[in-house]
Amino acid sequence: MAETLLFNALREAIDEEMGRDDTVFVLGEDVGVYGGSYKVTKDLYEKYGELRVLDTPIAENSFTGMAVGAAMTGLRPIIEGMNMGFLLLAFNQIANNAGMLRYTSGGNYKIPMVIRGPGGVGRQLGAEHSQRLEAYFQAVPGLKIVACSTPYNAKGLLKAAIRDNNPVLFFEHVLLYNLKEDLPNHEYVVPLDQAEIVRSGKDVTLLTYSRMRHHVMQAVKGLEKKGIDPEVIDLISLKPLDFETIGASIQKTHRVIIVEECMKTGGIGAEIIASINDRYFDELDAPVVRLSSQDIPTPYNGKLETLTIVQPKQIEAAVENMVALKV
Amino acid sequence: MVQERTLPPSQAPTVPISPEQGLMLYEDMILGRSFEDKCAEMYYRGKMFGFVHLYNGQEAVSTGVIKSLRADDYVCSTYRDHVHALSAGVPANNVMAELFGKETGCSRGRGGSMHLFSSEHNLLGGFAFIGEGIPVALGAAFQSRYRKDALGDPTADQVTACFFGDGTSNNGQFFECLNMAALWKLPILFVVENNKWAIGMAHERATSQPEIYKKASVFGMPGVEVDGMDVMAVRAVAQEAVARARAGAGPTLIECLTYRFRGHSLADPDELRSKAEKEAWLARDPIKRFEAYLLKHNLTDEATLKAMRDRIQTSIDDALTFAEDSPEPSPDDLRKYIFAED
Ligand SMILES: Cc1ncc(C[n+]2csc(CCOP(=O)(O)OP(=O)(O)O)c2C)c(N)n1
Ligand SMILES: [Mg+2]
């Protein structure tokens, strides 16, 4: 066991996969000589050379399309979005090419690539650097969308994403890079398509992902003291959703609260609610509640920013309310 | 009509071609032309759907460039892609079947006219949005260099030819990719088919420097202007660029001055272009010109050419029969090919 920071867990994942498969390479802004804006690729340039850790010009749509072309012809690119928000410039290449090209080509090509980097609301970074693109991208067919939340799952999931033969959007969170955890010394991979049961419980199912997992767990501390026993599920895979795990939990608790950092409109939670209504409506004892970020550009002001995203106290209150209404 | 640009003097081929090579080039151009004419017929008869962009008039570019490549080189096209696919070796049967939406189509009926793909022929697409193919082509070229220099594979000397139009050269991906290709000395040919128009937008009205080949110089890359109605001239320029790319000396921007003989797509009434302009360019028909060249240099005779045209016509008719007789994709396969495992 070795205590590892989340950004180093990601770095280990990339290093191990590059060592294992020489078609794996990293590209993006400042990934090489500089070592990545969050040091996820530190020293890999020295180890693997300038073609395998490729510093690109600031040209997001073109280097993303370039990665698609490289993937179509047999390489396994990992794009680092310096900030995932910048990949809005590459929306076309991610949607039309990474996501849809395999289908459009009738299976002629596969596109094994990972697009990873920091997303989410940080600390007073302003609206443009506080994006949650997972909600924007979830409608694109052919993409897999994954969000990591701990050093352990960050490493294992990134390794799985690199080995996957499909384009994977891999979200890290700006505020989680310095989380610490003891990681196993042996190699491990965490499956991309499985939600993680963070805490087993019987009263209510809390569905969450990325940084909100930690807000939820803070709320759980207070709820435990009040004798409430929630089940916490980290979705991990935002697309496709793991309805086996979600469904089993609903059949146990019959109550669902979704806690997400994306905005409410067109969010991940909106999609989950619709799917729960399709599949598990009869199991529900109460309407599904979602706690989402406000539908506004994230304000710079610290107090306003705090009001924009869901806080542990709100989660606690929502759970208490739902449990109190128990029929 | 805007003042016509003076065409560059024809680059006389340094190596004279053999009769076989001459006939091979002629056959490819005839194939392209006859295929497109058949498409127009089928479209107007209601057998073909969607936006269909024909290539008539520009054949010397596809043939001149793609027939200068090796079979393991890569070709990346646009929505005007039928003839690039044919030159790259995708059988007419499978291109026609794709346009009919059939399972035997090169994209299994999922792509259509603007999305032709064939991994077997290293055809990277078929892209319906302008410019998006340029970075994809760049990626294929990067892959060749990666295999050669990062993985030490001496056989990885494949070249990528990337086609796009004059209008597309105003898009950011063009400039971004020229920069990266020159920066990393990637084995790629950027082939601009300047047919003077982007739908209804005249080239001169859209760009501050209409001589596109000159844009190469700011990236430290060779830029060449060539008469795109002269297959021998295009071929000479392409061969030189391919040799440079293959030798590891980097990319070339080739601007082919050409013209489309039909509207932008089969849905375009084509009312903007003047009769005088159209006639001036029709007089430079690349197929007629090459026919004259072959005959003048005694590389063939009229009877051989006629026999070839007839044979191609038969193969197009066969392609049509093949497409019509082919099955549609099964509804059970609606969700197939979304993910790699499908
Ligand atoms: C991103 C995008 N914007 C607009 C269009 C619509 N469109 C299709 S072709 C075209 C003109 C392109 O002209 P050019 O690059 O000169 O190629 P040509 O059609 O002449 O071969 C336009 C605007 C598109 N397909 N994609
Ligand atoms: Mg044009």
Q: Where are the domains of chain A?
A: 2-183, 196-324
The overall average pLDDT reported for chain B is 96
Of A27, A33, A102, residue with least CA distance to A66 = A27
Q: Is the CB of B195 under 6 A from ligand 1?
A: yes
In tens, the pLDDT along A165-175 reads 999 999 999 99
Compute the distance between CA of residue B313 and CA of residue B309 in angstroms, rounded to an integer: 6
Helices (H), B194-301: 203-206, 231-246, 275-282, 286-296
Under an 8 A CB cutoff, do B125 and A105 touch?
yes
DSSP B330: P
User: What pLDDT shows up at residue B11?
Assistant: 57
User: What pLDDT shows up at residue B311?
Assistant: 98
Domain presence at residue B205: yes
Of B133, B198, B138, residue with least CA distance to A96 = B133
Domains A2-183 and A196-324 share a fold: yes
Collect all residues of chain A within an 8 Å Cβ-Cβ radius of residue B172.
59, 61-62
In tens, the pLDDT along A262-275 reads 999 999 999 999 99
Give CATH for domain A196-324: 3.40.50.920
Compute the distance between CA of residue A1 and CA of residue B192 in angstroms, rounded to an integer: 57
The CA B80 to ligand 1 mean position distance, Å, reads 10
Degrees, nearest 5: CA angle B106-B108-B112: 75
Under an 8 A CB cutoff, do B340 and A96 touch?
no
Q: Is the CB of B81 under 6 A from ligand 1?
A: no
Is the pLDDT at A133 greater than 90? The verdict is yes
User: What sign results for the dihedral spanned by CA atoms A175, A178, A183, A189?
Assistant: positive
The overall average pLDDT reported for chain A is 97
The minimum CA-CA distance between B135 and chain A, rounded to whole Å, is: 5
For A277, residues 6+ apart whose C-beta sits below 8 A from its C-beta are A288
Question: Is A215 in the active site?
Answer: no
Is the pLDDT at B196 greater than 60? The verdict is yes
Is the pLDDT at B13 greater than 70? The verdict is no
Is the pLDDT at A288 greater than 80? The verdict is yes
Collect all residues of chain A within an 8 Å Cβ-Cβ radius of residue B338.
102-103, 141-142
Mean pLDDT of A51-59: 98
User: What pLDDT shows up at residue B3?
Assistant: 66
Is the pLDDT at A162 greater than 80? The verdict is yes
Give CATH for domain A2-183: 3.40.50.970
Of A81, A83, A109, A85, residue with least CA distance to A97 = A109
Compute the distance between CA of residue B80 and CA of residue B61 in angstroms, rounded to an integer: 13
* Ligand 1: nearest atom to the Cα of B168: 15
Under an 8 A CB cutoff, do B132 and A97 touch?
yes
% pLDDT > 70, chain A? 99
Helix (H, G, I), strand (E, B) or coil at B281: helix
Compute the distance between CA of residue B138 and CA of residue B135 in angstroms, rounded to an integer: 5
* Ligand 1: nearest atom to the Cα of B193: 21
The CA B338 to ligand 1 mean position distance, Å, reads 27
* Ligand 1: nearest atom to the Cα of B130: 26
Q: Note down the domain range covering B228.
A: 38-327
Q: How far apart are the first and last CA of chain B?
A: 53
Q: Is the CB of B167 under 6 A from ligand 1?
A: yes
Provide the CATH number for the domain around residue B100.
3.40.50.970
Is the pLDDT at B288 greater than 60? The verdict is yes
Of A21, A73, A11, residue with least CA distance to A42 = A11
DSSP A93: I
Do B99 and A30 meet the contact criterion of CB atoms below 8 Å apart?
A: no
Helix (H, G, I), strand (E, B) or coil at A241: coil
The minimum CA-CA distance between B107 and chain A, rounded to whole Å, is: 4
User: What sign results for the dihedral spanned by CA atoms B133, B137, B138, B142?
Assistant: positive
Mean pLDDT of B255-278: 96
In tens, the pLDDT along A71-108 reads 999 999 999 999 999 999 999 999 999 999 999 999 99
Do B203 and B210 meet the contact criterion of CB atoms below 8 Å apart?
A: yes
Whose structure tokens read 């991994």?
Answer: B119
Under an 8 A CB cutoff, do B173 and A110 touch?
no
User: What pLDDT shows up at residue B8?
Assistant: 74
Residue in A52, A65, A112 closest to B139 by CB: A65
Is the pLDDT at B6 greater than 90? The verdict is no
Of A137, A26, A14, residue with least CA distance to A87 = A137
Which two structure tokens, joined as six digits, stand for B199? 């739908």
The CA B197 to ligand 2 mean position distance, Å, reads 4
Under an 8 A CB cutoff, do B176 and A59 touch?
yes
Domain presence at residue B285: yes
Is the pLDDT at B271 greater than 60? The verdict is yes
Is the pLDDT at B2 greater than 90? The verdict is no
Compute the distance between CA of residue A28 and CA of residue A12 in angstroms, rounded to an integer: 18
Is the pLDDT at B10 greater than 80? The verdict is no
The minimum CA-CA distance between B20 and chain A, rounded to whole Å, is: 32
% pLDDT > 90, chain B? 95
Question: Is A129 in the active site?
Answer: yes
Domain presence at residue B31: no
The CA B75 to ligand 2 mean position distance, Å, reads 19
Q: Which residue from B minimizes the CA distance to A113?
A: B340
User: What pLDDT shows up at residue B318?
Assistant: 98
Question: Into how many domains does chain B fold?
Answer: 1
Among the listed residues A12, A80, A129, A305, the single catalytic one is A129
Is the pLDDT at B87 greater than 60? The verdict is yes
Mean pLDDT of B290-317: 97
In tens, the pLDDT along B23-70 reads 999 999 999 999 999 999 999 999 999 999 999 999 999 999 999 999
Is the pLDDT at B9 greater than 80? The verdict is no
Domain presence at residue B102: yes
User: What sign results for the dihedral spanned by CA atoms B214, B216, B222, B224?
Assistant: negative
Interface test with A, best of B136, B151, B153, B188 (most A CBs within 10 A): B136
Is the pLDDT at B132 greater than 60? The verdict is yes
Residues around the ion ligand 2 (C-beta < 5 A): B 165-166, 195, 198
Interface test with B, best of A64, A108, A110 (most B CBs within 10 A): A108
Is the pLDDT at B283 greater than 90? The verdict is yes
Is the pLDDT at A289 greater than 70? The verdict is yes
Mean pLDDT of B299-308: 98
Q: Does the interface ipTM go beyond 0.90?
A: yes
pTM for this structure?
0.96
Q: Is the CB of B130 under 6 A from ligand 1?
A: yes
Is the pLDDT at A295 greater than 80? The verdict is yes
What is the secondary structure of B46-87 as a DSSP string?
TSS-S-----TT-HHHHHHHHTTS-TTSEEE--SS-HHHHHH
